[in-house]
Amino acid sequence: MVWHPIVTSLCIPTPLRKFGQFGQPATWASLRAVLGAEMSGLQEQHASVLCEANGFLLDNGTKLYSTEELSERNKTFEVEKYLAGFLAIGDDSGGNAFVVPVGKDDARVFSVGIGVMDARYLGLVAQDINAWLEAELIGNQNDG
């Protein structure tokens, strides 16, 4: 693993890797491209996950967007217009996006319907990305 200055800790639980397809680690250049774009509030935890696997798709349909997908998905879903201050980082392959507040002070992960991108409809998924990944591991272990 190549360490980048932004990485603080490894996030993807090793056992989770048997429940899906994981991309290669993000390059520093791809992270810089995302960090320099409109999504400059990319959280350290999120960046750490991308440094381990630049996106993934779990067997249950949970998808974490790669650095290449982040901008396109957020533009397509018009996140900035309808859910300002949030970044879509993935989806459940069933019509719900996983979003995080932009900035470092709030690391919570929320779910919201892609067709109703509105803060009134946010559902708390986890207190942070690490907890979200741990919950995905438990859910996948119970399903398998």
| CATH number of the domain residue 39 falls in | 3.40.1580.10
User: 15 in a domain, yes or no?
Assistant: no
Quick: pLDDT tens for 6-19. 444 446 667 777 77
* Residue 9 forms part of a structural domain: no
Instruction: Summarize pLDDT for 50-98 with one digit per residue, the tens.
Output: 888 899 999 889 999 999 999 899 999 999 999 999 999 999 999 999 9
What range does the domain containing 47 cover? 21-143
Task: Tell me how many domains the chain contains.
Answer: 1
Alpha helix locations (H) across the chain? 28-36, 44-52, 67-76, 79-82, 129-143
Residue 1 lies inside a defined structural domain of this protein? no
pLDDT tens digits for 14-35? Answer: 777 777 888 888 887 887 777 6
In a domain, 125, yes or no: yes
Q: Is residue 97 part of a domain?
A: yes
Angstrom distance (rounded) from CA 91 to CA 112: 9
137, 109, 141: which is closest to 13 by C-alpha? 137
